[in-house]
Structure 1
Amino acid sequence: MKLTKYTDYAMRLMIYLGSRPSGLSSIREISDTFSVSQNHMMKVVQDLANAEFLESVRGRNGGIRLARPTNEINLGALLRHTEGLTDLIDCHGCRIAPACALPSVLSEATAAFVAVFDKYTLADLVGKRSALGELLGFGSLPALKGSGGRT
Structure 2
Amino acid sequence: MQLNQQTDYALRVLLLLAEQESVEPQHLYTIKEIAEFHQISRNHLMKIVNSLAEQGYVQSQRGRNGGVKLGRSSKDINIGEVVRGMENSWALVDCFSPTGSHCRIQGRCRLQPVLQQALHAFWSTLDQFSLADVSTRPVIPGRL
User: Which residue does the alignment assign to 2:124?
Assistant: 115
Aligned residues: 133
Structure 2 unmatched ranges of 5 or more: 96-100
Identity in percent: 39
Q: Secondary structure in 2 aligned to 1:61?
A: coil
What is the Cα deviation at residue 84 of structure 1? 3.6
Give distance in 2, aligned partners of 1:46 and 1:16: 16
Q: Which residue type is aligned with residue 97 of structure 1? A: Q
What is the Cα deviation at residue 26 of structure 1? 0.7
Taking structure 2 as the reference length, what is the TM-score of the superposition?
0.85
Deviating more after overlay: 108-117 vs 97-106: 97-106
Structure 1 unmatched ranges of 5 or more: 142-151
- Does residue 39 (structure 1) correspond to residue 40 (structure 2)? The answer is no
RMSD in angstroms over aligned alpha carbons?
Answer: 1.5
Taking structure 1 as the reference length, what is the TM-score of the superposition?
0.81
Q: Secondary structure in 1 aligned to 2:16?
A: helix
Give distance in 1, aligned partners of 2:82 and 2:89: 11
| Deviating 4+ runs (over 3 angstroms) | none
User: Which residue does the alignment assign to 1:97?
Assistant: 106
Structure 1 residues 20-99: aligned runs within 5 Å:
20=20, 21-22=24-25, 23-91=27-95, 92-99=101-108
Give distance in 2, aligned partners of 1:30 and 1:62: 13
Q: Secondary structure in 2 aligned to 1:55?
A: strand
